[in-house]
A and B are shown apart, each in its own frame.
Chain A
C-alpha cells in the first residue's frame, strides 16, 4: 500500500529519510569494529600488514562508479532513459568489478600468510571489516540489478525519481565508507 499525502510532500520523502537513519545505523556497526581495532592494536601480539596494491585499484573503480550513478540520476531526472539505462549498467559492472578486486585483495593478503588462525593482528580485522563492507556493496549491486532490469523490462513507466535517489545516496555512502575504511587502515593500522 503506497501512502503519500499532499502535505507530506513538503517534507523529505519517508523512504529517503529511512535510508539516512539506516546509514547512521550501519556507521555505528563500523564504528564498533574500528574502535575494537584501536583497542586491540595496543595489546601484545599485534601484527601489522602491508596493504595490497589491489585495494588502490578498487578505490579507483568505486570512485568512478559514484560518478556514473550520479550521472544516471541526472539523466533519469531529465528523462533521458537510454542514457539512464546505460549508466546504471555501467555502475552495475563497476560495482561487480569492485567486489572482484576486493576478493583479489584478500587473496594476495592470504598469500602473504595473513590467516584467520593464530595470533591477532590487523589482517584479521581487515578481513572482517572489508568483508562486511563488500557485503554492503553487494546489497547495492542487487538493488542496481533490480533497477537495471526494471528499466529494460519494466511494464510500468517510472516517473518518481525517489528510488533512483535512494539508490544513488546509498551508493555514495558505501563509496565514502570505503574511503574512510581504507584511510583508517593506512593511518592507524
Chain B
C-alpha cells in the first residue's frame, strides 16, 4: 500500500524526544501547530477545551439562578458582584433570570454538548479509529473550529451589552423573540444570538460534512463498515442528523431575522404592544416552532448518540467482553436516527395541534422506546458476567446507562399527548430532559475524556479524583433532578423565578433548598475535574505503553504521542471487528491481527 503523504520529518522525532511537553521549535510554528492547526487531534482538543470553558460558564449560570430559586427571599451580594444592575441588592431581576435560563440552555445544548462533545470526539476518533491520516478536508475541519470560535465570541459578547443577552428561552419562540419592544432580551441580545447560532450552524455543517466523507471514503484497507467500532457508527449518524437538520434551523432563524429587522410577517400577526398596533398580518408563530423543532428534536440525538457510541466502546473494553449484539446496536442507532426526524411535533402537543396529528406523533415517539430498550439491554448484557475493570471511565459509562434508563422512562410519560396536557411546562419536563439528555450525555463525555485522555495528551488523569468526581456527580445528579419529578407532577411550573404566591407549592421550599445546595456541591466537583484535567495535561502520570487499556481499536496502534499523520509507517490493515475480547483464551485481539486458521467464529 503506497501512500502519497508527506509526514513532516520532525513529527516522529518529536514524539521520541519531547514526550513530556509540547513546546519547542520544529518544522511547524507554534501558530500552525496549536492555533490554526489542521491536525484533527489538535482541533479535537481545541473543541474540548473551548467546550470546558463554556461548560463552566453555563454551569455557573445554573448555580447562580438556583441560589435564587432555593432561597427566594434572601439576597446574595455575590450576585450583584457578578451581574451588577441585573441583580441590584443581591436578588436577580425576573427579566435577567430569563436571560440566565436562556443562556444556560443555549450554552449547554449547543456549545457544550454539541460542539464540545461531538466536535471533540468526532475529530479525535474518526481518523484514528477508521485508519486515516486526517479528515477528508483538514482545511474545512480547521474552519469548522474557527466558525465555532467566532460563534462563541459573538455569544459571549451578547452577555456584556447593556440590554443583556437573549432571554426568550433557548427555543427563542416568536413573537417574543421577534419584537424588540417586547422585552430587553429581545433587543440587540437576540440579534447577536441569531448571528452566533448562524455561525454555529456553519461550523457544525463544515464539521459534519467532513465526518461523513471521512467515515465513508477514508477507511483503511480491510475496514469494512461492519468492522467499524460503534463509536464511529454513532458519530456517523450524529453527523447525518446534523447535516440534514441544522439547515432547517438556519432557514427558521433567517426568517426570524427578517421579521425582526425588516418588518416582514413570517411569524407575526395581529399584535398589539402597549397601545401600538403592529401592521403585521398573516404570520404564524407556530410555523417557527415547526422549523425550530425539526432541528430541535434531532438535536437531542445529536447530543446523545456520540455518548451512546462511546459508552458502547468503553463498556466492551472494560468488561473485557465483546459488545453484545453489534448488529442490533447498529440497527437501533439507525432506527433512532430515522425516528429523530419524525417526532418533532411532540414538543407542540399543547399548541393547538390537531389531536389526530398528535396521536400519530405519540405513536412515533413511543416507538423510540424500542431501539432505546434494545441498546440498554445490550449494554447490560455486555456487562453481564464480564471481568469488569471499574476505572472512572467505566463508572461514568455505567452511570450513563443508569441515567438513560431513568430519564428515558419519564419520556414515555411526556410522549403521551394526554398526559402531556398536565405535565407540559412543569418541572417534570426539566427533570426528564436534564437526566436523559443533559446529564447522561455529560456522563458519556466524561467517560470519553477519562478513556481517551491518554491518547490525547500521553498522560493519565488522576483516578482518585476521578472516583470522587464520579460518585459525587452520580449521587448529586439524582438528588438534584429526581425531586423535580414530584414538583412537576404537583404542577409546579418551570421558568418561574418566584412561586411563593402559590400556597400549594410552599411545601417544596425545603426540597428546592436541598436541590440548590447539592447543585453547588456538584458544580464544585466539576471544577475539581477541570483542575484534574489541566493538571494532568502537564503533570499527570505518563503513559508508557501504546495500548494502556488493552483495547482492540486502531487508535492504540499509533505512537503514544502521534504526530500529524497519526502512524509513523504505513496505515495498518484491519482483519477483524473491534470487539474480540476474551476470545479463545486471549484477553484481547487487536483489529490489526490476521484471523488465525483455528480461530473460533464470534
Interface residues of A (CB under 8 A from B): 1-8, 11-15, 17-18, 21-22, 24-26, 28-33, 36, 39-40, 43-46, 116-121, 124, 128, 132
Contact = CB atoms under 8 A, between A and B. Distances in A.
B36 to A, nearest CB: 13
B402 interface: no
B279 A117 contact: yes
A44 B270 CA distance: 11
SS class of chain A's interface: helix, strand, loop or mixed? helix
Please list the 5 inter-chain residue pairs (A to B) with the smallest Cβ-Cβ separation, ordered nearest first. Answer: A45-B282, A119-B281, A29-B247, A120-B282, A32-B251
A119 B282 CA distance: 6
A3 B133 contact: yes
Contacts of A128: 254-255, 258
A8 to B, nearest CB: 7
8 contacts: A1-B6, A3-B132, A5-B1, A7-B221, A18-B213, A32-B250, A124-B265, A132-B254
B282 A40 contact: yes
Interface residues of B, number: 56
Contact of A120 (B140, B214, B252, B266): B266
Contacts of B217: 8, 11-14, 17
B351 to A, nearest CB: 13
A4 B252 CA distance: 39
B264 A116 contact: yes
Interface stretch (B188-196, B286-294, B307-315): B286-294
Contacts of B138: 1, 3
Contacts of B254: 33, 128, 132
Given A43-B282, A119-B280, 9 more contacts: A1-B38, A14-B136, A14-B213, A17-B213, A18-B210, A21-B243, A24-B243, A39-B287, A119-B281
A40 B258 CA distance: 16
A46 B252 CA distance: 19
A119 B265 CA distance: 6
A21 B258 contact: no
B464 interface: no
B248 A7 contact: no
B235 interface: no
Contacts of A3: 5, 132-134, 138, 218
B493 to A, nearest CB: 29
B251 to A, nearest CB: 4
Contacts of B244: 24-25, 28
A116 B262 contact: yes
A116 B258 contact: yes
A45 B404 CA distance: 46
A39 B4 contact: no
A119 B279 contact: yes
Contacts of B287: 36, 39-40
Interface in B249-300: 250-252, 254-255, 258, 262-266, 269, 279-284, 287, 290-291, 294
Contacts of B243: 21, 24-25, 28
Contacts of A33: 251, 254-255
Contact of B564 (A1, A13, A43): A1
Contacts of A21: 208-209, 212-213, 243
B353 to A, nearest CB: 13
A116 B140 CA distance: 35
B5 A1 contact: yes
B247 A6 contact: no
Nearest to A44: B282
A68 B250 CA distance: 32
B395 interface: no
B3 interface: yes
Interface string B183-214: 00000000000000000000001001110111
B216 interface: yes
Nearest to A12: B217
A174 to B, nearest CB: 15
Contacts of A116: 258, 262-264
B264 A124 contact: yes
Nearest to B243: A25
Contacts of B507: none
A107 B345 CA distance: 38
Contacts of A7: 1, 221
Contact of A25 (B2, B205, B290, B564): B205
Contacts of A43: 269, 282-284
A29 B265 CA distance: 20
Given A21-B212, A36-B287, A40-B266, A28 B247 contact: yes
A25 B247 contact: yes
Contacts of B279: 117-119
Nearest to A41: B282
Interface string B450-487: 00000000000000000000000000000000000000
Given A29-B250, A32-B252, A8 B218 contact: yes
Nearest to B244: A28
Specify which of B132, B255, B565 lies most central, judged by the most chain A CB atoms within 10 Å of its CB.
B255
B134 A45 contact: no
